[in-house]
Amino acid sequence: MSTITLFQTPPPEPIKSQILQMVVDYVTDISMVAIAPSNPLYNLYQYGIGYEVHLYLDAMDGSRGIPVELIVASDPQDPSTVIGFLLYLPVKDDPEACAVAYMGVQASHRRRGVARAMVQEMVGRYPHAELACFVAKVPYFEAMGFQVVGARGPQVLMNTRDHGSSGLLAVLDVAPIYNSVEVRQIHAYLLKQHGKKAMVDAEKQRDRHLDQMTRQAQAFVRERLGEATGLNSGRMPRLV
């Protein structure tokens, strides 16, 4: 069990710091890159994804003109302890729609319905909800009422309906993070620590892994939607 709290303005600093720590701890699960801890680039993505979430939490004050909402699950025995979070973006011009941006649950509280409780809270507010996950997580979200609608890079796109919203989804431009002085400093430190060859190999390893996951997601969606529509050809059905 968990206590669920909705935030439509920036959360208190103690909650924010726990969320950011969770992002750092579980960046492999939270990042679309799924970078492995063994990859020398891991620390760089810990900073990058952490800063992405930090920017979205700050944007909840309305200063960036982007709607952002946050659901936090806390330990009922200790309400000050965050055990899960779900950050999502309401869709403009469609009051029923939203898209999940980041979600995480403390390892010690997984398989206890924490994620389900947060998702149910979100869907109760926005019944037309969308998310992207890796192939292995598809059955998990199907059990929550989501269905496969397409592929997005290395992930499978899922929705509570059989189509995406036609409204506008506003997102922050996070590209500058990875061109920042801080990221360059981290990269320089990692280069000094591991050497040029190891860093080049790390980038190749990351890219191979992304390519593999992208092929896996595309093949999964092709098979799943082919089965759903009775298609037997090897071509991808057109996704709307």
Sorted by where each starts, the structural domains of the chain and their CATH numbers stand as: 3-229 (3.40.630.30)
Report which secondary-structure segment, H or E, holds 160.
none
Q: What is the average pLDDT across 163-185?
A: 94
Q: What is the average pLDDT across 79-83?
A: 94
- Distance in angstroms (rounded) separating the CA atoms of residues 150 and 57: 28
Orientation of helix 42-59 relative to helix 181-194, angle to 10°: 160
- Distance in angstroms (rounded) separating the CA atoms of residues 215 and 204: 16
| Unique residue bearing structure tokens 């790390």 | 202
| Unique residue bearing structure tokens 């990859």 | 39
Quote the pLDDT of residue 1.
72
Q: Say whether pLDDT at 2 is over 90.
A: no
Question: Which residues are CB-contacts of 197 (< 8 A; sequence separation ≥ 6)?
Answer: none
Quote the pLDDT of residue 228.
62
Reported as a single tens digit per residue, the pLDDT across 26-56 is 999 999 999 999 999 999 999 999 999 999 9
Comparing C-alpha atoms, which of 72, 61, 59 is closest to residue 14?
A: 72
Comparing C-alpha atoms, which of 108, 106, 88 is closest to residue 22?
A: 106
Beta bridge partners of 158: 131, 148
pTM of the model: 0.91
Q: Which two tokens stand for residue 99?
A: 């898209």
The torsion angle over the Cα atoms of residues 19, 85, 214 and 198, rounded to 10 degrees, is 20
